[in-house]
C-alpha cells in the first residue's frame, strides 16, 4: 500500500481508503471483532493510531447501517406487495379465514393493531347487562 507523504504525516487517498474499508467490513462482519479488539487490530494492521481506527470503525458502522436500512425497506415493500396481492385473492375467492389472518399481519406491520378494550366504569369488577329482546 503506497502512502503519500504530507505535512502532517502519512495520508491515504480515496482509493486506498475504500480498499481499507473492504478489510474493515470483513473484520467487523466476519471476524466479529468488538470495538476494542477492532481498535487494536486495525491500528496494528493499517499502521494507524487508535483514534484513526475509531474513526474508521464509526464510518464503517454508519455505512453498514445505511446499506441494511435500504435493503430492509426494499424487502418490506416486497412483502407488503405480496400481502396485498394475497388479500385481493382471498377476497376474490371468498376465503375469509386467510383474509382475516392477512389483515392481522398487515395491521401489525402498519402498527395499527386494535388496542385491548378496558372497562373503566366498573373498576374491573364484574357487572351484569340485561338486554330485553322481545320488545
Q: Give domain status of residue 134, yes or no.
A: no
What 28-34 contacts at long range (C-beta under 8 Å, 24+ apart), as own/partner pairs, is 28/57, 28/60, 28/61, 28/64, 29/64
Domain tally for the chain? 1
88 confidence band (pLDDT: 50, 70, 90): very high
> Over the range 81-116, which residues count as b (16 or more CB within 10 Å of their CB) and which as e?
eeeeebbeebeeeeeeeebeebeeeeeeeeeeeeee
- The answer to whether residue 22 is domain-embedded is yes
Q: Which domain holds residue 53?
A: 4-109
In a domain, 101, yes or no: yes
The 10s digit of each residue's pLDDT in 37-49 is: 989 999 999 888 9
User: Is 127 contained in some domain?
Assistant: no
Assess if residue 88 is contained within a domain. yes
What pTM value is reported for the model? 0.47
Q: At 91, list the grid cell.
A: 377476497
At 101-121, the pLDDT tens digits run 888 888 887 877 666 665 566
Residue 23 falls within a domain, yes or no?
yes
How far does Cα 103 stand from its chain's mean position?
A: 23
Residue 122 lies in a domain: no
Amino acid at each position: 500500500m503506497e502512502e503519500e507523504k504530507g505535512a502532517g504525516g502519512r495520508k491515504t487517498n480515496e482509493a486506498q481508503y475504500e480498499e481499507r474499508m473492504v478489510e474493515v467490513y470483513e473484520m467487523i462482519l466476519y471476524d466479529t471483532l468488538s470495538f476494542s479488539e477492532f481498535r487494536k487490530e486495525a491500528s496494528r494492521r493499517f499502521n494507524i493510531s487508535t483514534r484513526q481506527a475509531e474513526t474508521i470503525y464509526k464510518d464503517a458502522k454508519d455505512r453498514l447501517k445505511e446499506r441494511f436500512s435500504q435493503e430492509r425497506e426494499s424487502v418490506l415493500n416486497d412483502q407488503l406487495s405480496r400481502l396485498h396481492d394475497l388479500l385481493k385473492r382471498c377476497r376474490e375467492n371468498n376465503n375469509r379465514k386467510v383474509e382475516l389472518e392477512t389483515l392481522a399481519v398487515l395491521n401489525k406491520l402498519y402498527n395499527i393493531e386494535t388496542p385491548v378494550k378496558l372497562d373503566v366504569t366498573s373498576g374491573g369488577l364484574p357487572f351484569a347487562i340485561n338486554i330485553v329482546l322481545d320488545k
